[in-house]
Each structure stands twice: as C-alpha cells, then as structure tokens.
Structure 1
Amino acid sequence: MARRKVTKARKALLIELESMIGNECYNANIQNWGPGGVFEGEGREFRYPITFRDEEGRKVKKRSIDGDMSGDTVLGGYYAFGANELHIMNGLNRVLDYLEREYQLKI
C-alpha cells in the first residue's frame, strides 16, 4: 500500500502521541543523590531519545521532535535499543490508520 502524504494535523498528533510514550521511561537502577551527597532513593523517570536520519543519512538523536520536520522525516523516527530499533512513529501512524478505518476517527 502506498504511503499517503502526512497532513499537518496528523503530523502534530503523531508528535504529541510520541511525546506521551517517550516520557514514560523509568530506570529503577538509577541512584539519585541530592545536595551534600544525600541519597534520595533509587529510580528515575526520563525522556527516551528518539532517533532520526538527516538529509545525509546520519543518525540524529533528539529529546523532542521539531514540528518543522517534514512528514517523511517524522515518520522515520525510532527508538534505538542497542542493536534493535522500535519504529515508533511508523507504528503510531499505523495505529491512527487503524482507528480511522475501524472507528471512523477524523484527524
């Protein structure tokens, strides 16, 4: 199936949804030390970086997505887990396709 052009509204929704997911990371092994070396407990939430490829094909990690990126660039965003990649933006786009088709979602 040919990929259709990503509308401005769809791109904005994809960026918002990815931000929700990317901000849900937690590492229980991080130790938190406060002022004066006071231990404040274990575990910390963090924003997982999303990786894109620039025009030259180089990997670029970001902690937020620039709304000025092209739709195709946005759809190429992925989370890198060592040698593995989770193509989060393409996955979210497929979820939106499903919701539009099965539940008549209007974006």
Structure 2
Amino acid sequence: MTNPINAKRVKLLADLEYLVGNNCYNPKIQNYGAHGIYQGEGRSIRYPLTVLDGENEPKKSRGKASVADAKELSTGYYAFGVNRLHIIKALDEVLRHLEDNHGLKL
C-alpha cells in the first residue's frame, strides 16, 4: 500500500483479512473428541497473519489483526514455506479495483 490509508479502510482491511484467514482447511488433521473417540479427518483452522513490527521482526497472530498501526498492518502476509502471500496488500488492491471499476464508495 503506497498511499496513506484512513482508519475506516484499515479496519475494513483487517476485517476482510480475518474472513479470509478463517477459511483455511487442513484435511490431514486427525480429530479426536472426548474419551479419544475418532471424529474424522480434517479441520478448519485460522491461518496465522504475520506482520513486521517497527524493527522488521515478524509477529504472528491467529486473532483479528490490530488496526492501531496501519503501517504495521500493511506488512501483513501469510507465510507458505519460503513463499509469502501479501494478503493486506492484495485486499487493498481488490478494494481499489472495486472503487475504480465498479463504483464502490468507501
């Protein structure tokens, strides 16, 4: 995100990221309930968002991203091994596309 963003947009980006991050599924997790009863394979998980703090140190979060620091939030990514999906930047690009091409007003 190259342009400064307002608090409303930051909150929207954090909300959208939370929705995306809650839609991760691992089919290989073995689920056992009370008393060791097998409940089938697979489980939905919250994919952790990683942000870089002021010292460029990564911080992972499985909860809703903090909107207190827009610059920190803008570094948010999902780590897939050595690859990164810059989810906050991607969501901001989606919003900008919707604003520029489809009349979305924020």
Specify if TM > 0.5: yes
CA drift of 1:104 comes to: 2.1
CA contact (8 A) 1:6 1:72 kept: no
Q: Which residue of 1 aligns with 2:42?
A: 43
Rounded Cα–Cα distance in structure 1 between residues aligned with 2:70 and 2:53: 13
For the residue of structure 1 that corresponds to 2:59, the secondary structure is strand
Where structure 1 has 5 or more consecutive residues not aligned to the other structure, the ranges are none
When the two structures are aligned, how many residues end up with a matched partner?
Answer: 105
Per-residue displacement from partner, 1:54-84 (whole Å, max 9, x unpaired)? Answer: 111111101120121x212111100000000
Q: Share of identical aligned residues, percent?
A: 42
Kindly report structure 1 stretches of 4+ aligned residues shifted beyond 3 Å. Answer: none
RMSD: 1.2
Per-residue displacement from partner, 1:11-51 (whole Å, max 9, x unpaired)? Answer: 11101111110000001110001111111111100100000
Rounded Cα–Cα distance in structure 2 between residues aligned with 1:66 and 1:72: 11
- Counterpart of 2:73, as a letter, is V
